Amino acid sequence: MTTPRLLVLRALLADPAQERYGLELAGAAGLEPGTIYPILVAFETAGWLSSREEDVDVHAAGRPRRRYYRLTAAGETAARTALDSASARRRTANPRPAW
């Protein structure tokens, strides 16, 4: 699991039930937009995310339609497991001195 993927999972877990669009998630994760979309596609393909395209008149809104993402139940479990595993690896790799 790469650091950018872990950052996206952390951003999604901040409020697992909330739908978030790609650019919003990029900002929350501290990533560039070009980095986030392949990650979102991979998570959706794995069944960790569901997505939907908003129903908006693009001319009235003055912007393109957004695709909203939300963690699935399986995705929430997998995200927590991935973050816990990464945290455990960090602790093992960098143990604190016992003083």
Tell me whether strands 67-71 and 49-53 are parallel, antiparallel or unpaired: antiparallel
Task: Quote the pTM value.
Answer: 0.83
| pLDDT value at residue 89 | 78
Q: Kindly list the structural domains of the chain, giving each domain's residue range(s) and its CATH number in brackets, ordered by start.
A: 3-93 (1.10.10.10)
Residue 99: pLDDT over 70: no
Burial 19-50 (b: 16+ CB within 10 A, else e): bbbbebbbebbebeeeebbebbeebbeeebbe
pLDDT mean over 61-83: 94
In DSSP notation, the chain reads --HHHHHHHHHHHTSTTS-EEHHHHHHHHT--HHHHHHHHHHHHHTTSEEEEE----HHHHTSPPPEEEEE-HHHHHHHHHHHHHHHHHHHHHSPPP--
- Summarize pLDDT for 9-62 with one digit per residue, the tens: 999 999 999 999 999 999 999 999 899 999 999 999 999 999 999 998 999 999
| pLDDT value at residue 90 | 74
